[in-house]
Amino acid sequence: MRERRLVLPWAVWGVALSAYIVAVINRSSLAALGPATQEHFGIDATTLSMFTVIQLIVYAALQIPIGVLLDRFGSTMMILAGGALMLSGQVVMATVHDVRLAILARVLVGAGDACTFISVMRLLPEWFSLRQLPIVSQLTGLAGQAGQLVSVIPLALAVGALGWATGFFGIAAVGLLVVILGALVLRDRPGVGTAIERLLGRDGRTTREGRSFAGHESTAVLAAVAPPSTGLIATQPAEPTRHADGSLRKLRSLVGIPGVRLAFWVHFTTPFAVNVLLLLWGTPFLTGGAGLSPAASAGLLSIAVFASMAAGASLGPLTSRFVERRVRMVEAITVCVMLSWIVTLLWPGTPPFWALLMLVIVVPVGGPASMIAFEVVRSHTPRSYLGLATGFTNMGGFIATLIAMPLIGLALDLQGAGEPENYSMDAFRWAFLMQVPIWLLGLIMIAVERRRTERWMMRHGRTLR
């Protein structure tokens, strides 16, 4: 039993992590295929950006509904549903040439992706202790970056060598394998069966005897970082209400907690710049703006992914050790990311290679920094509300991304640089400066909500964390 207790949490996490990696592959599958996508569908820069923008609109818009479904049906069902949606979207993407059907494919991918990450994050507190969670969360984000590596190099090579359809059918096949594995292994919590076991109505020995690492903290640790009780959430009316009305009331109650709003703004501010770089505009900027070869561009974007992974490996132990400083870390990282872009964009003429290298090392740190938002929201949300709160928090970064991506595409088009043959460093310089107001807004709101959170926690007798 002891061995099963130790192994099962890691097995569940490993399969959930595989599902997240595949979701990142699906999300990022156009990252290094910008010019190829334009050629395949015959579209301009604004239309290209709309592929990713529509996908992210779907992702962001579904976070609240999926958060509600997550609290009701559990992580396992949502992860499996997400995988099925994504593989369906990639099959459509592999087989169509019509732009409208391709957009439908990205809608399916966005919907499936929306189910996956918050479901994985909701699963973690059921299997790991509060002190393990910052490290496991960062490792989750770190491993997810492997999906971006697949999108940056192998997928681009596969599409170039084997064709558009083969590359996207390959992604769909990997997704199907992970869905099957998830149905056999994933469990919402100790004592709850897998999807297959629930379908058959019979739990196996592993399910019956499985244990987790959760719930073994000292009193001091619980007082500092444990979620608040449900009593700190405004009570719901006793009379029956429609399900949608009840969900809306739950959301309003959650948003009334300053720490939940702080988590939203932390996530709003941190990941959008790396999303812009790795999901869409990195390859066009490095090749069409900075004048690098496709191979050199792919190499720098790969370095960006490794930099993000290294940052995640460092931030996990740091935030676990210095919990009370985690929001300050976010502020410092955001300032560094903003300055690295400003230095690169304001460099006279074409930026030197070392400046581009600095850019792809510093900017990706925002990805692991965004994971701190989920540590913040867990410290301020009762567990029964955590799916909804995680979805709300996760909206932040994607709303910022949805603002930044089309602004960059629009700025390029307004300068007459919307096609690959018209790209220039001057055009990208003005386009990428559209990110600065988003950073400034995020930093201001983090400062405001951090002070409100301090006062709220003092008023409720909780340690400032």
Cβ(270)–Cβ(373) under 8 Å? Answer: yes
Residue 233: pLDDT band (50, 70, 90) is very low
* Mean per-residue pLDDT, 198-212: 84
The answer to whether residue 152 scores a pLDDT higher than 70 is no
Residue 3: pLDDT band (50, 70, 90) is very low
| pLDDT at residue 357 in the model | 94
| pLDDT at residue 281 in the model | 85
- For the chain, counts of helices (H) and of strands (E): 24, 0
Write out pLDDT tens, residues 355-392: 999 999 999 999 889 989 988 998 888 877 888 898 89
Write out pLDDT tens, residues 43-87: 776 677 778 778 878 988 898 899 989 988 999 999 999 999 999
| pLDDT at residue 419 in the model | 73
421 compared with 99, residue with greater pLDDT = 99
Cα–Cα dist 245/128, whole Å: 33
| 428: number of Cβ within 10 Å | 24
Residue 179: pLDDT band (50, 70, 90) is very high
Q: Nearest Cα to 300, choosing from 267, 344, 269, 330?
A: 344
The answer to whether residue 255 scores a pLDDT higher than 70 is yes
Residue 176: pLDDT band (50, 70, 90) is very high
In Å, how far are 136, 373, 376 from 226, measured between CA atoms? 16, 15, 11
Q: How many residues does the chain have?
A: 465
The answer to whether residue 260 scores a pLDDT higher than 50 is yes
In Å, how far are 234, 290, 310, 357, 371 from 299, measured between CA atoms? 51, 14, 16, 10, 25
Q: What is the mean pLDDT of the chain?
A: 83
Cα–Cα dist 77/63, whole Å: 16
Cα–Cα dist 60/181, whole Å: 27
Structural domains in the chain, CATH included, are 2-459 (1.20.1250.20)
What secondary structure, in 3-state letters, does 59-95 show?
A: HHHCHHHHHHHHHHHCHHHHHHHHHHHHHHHHHHHHH
- How buried is 69 (Cβ within 10 angstroms: 0-12 exposed, 13-18 middle, 19+ buried)? buried
Cα–Cα dist 446/142, whole Å: 24
* Mean per-residue pLDDT, 310-316: 84
Cα distance from N-terminal residue to C-terminal residue, the chain: 36
| pLDDT at residue 232 in the model | 43
To which residue do tokens 């009379």 refer? 239
User: What is the sign of the dihedral through the CA atoms of 387, 392, 394 and 395?
Assistant: positive
Percentages of the chain per state (helix, strand, coil), in multiples of 5: 80, 0, 20
Cβ(391)–Cβ(66) under 8 Å? Answer: yes
Cα–Cα dist 22/180, whole Å: 13
| pLDDT at residue 239 in the model | 37
| pLDDT at residue 236 in the model | 35
Please state the pTM of the whole predicted model: 0.76
| Interacting residues of 296 by C-beta distance below 8 A, sequence separation 6+ | 286
Cα–Cα dist 254/207, whole Å: 33
Cα–Cα dist 201/192, whole Å: 11
The answer to whether residue 221 scores a pLDDT higher than 70 is no
| pLDDT at residue 237 in the model | 33
| pLDDT at residue 238 in the model | 34
The answer to whether residue 402 scores a pLDDT higher than 50 is yes
CA 229 centroid distance within chain: 27
Phi, psi of 224 (to 5 degrees): -85, -45
* Mean per-residue pLDDT, 242-261: 77
Q: What is the CA radius of gyration of the chain?
A: 22
Write out pLDDT tens, residues 24-44: 888 877 766 777 777 778 777
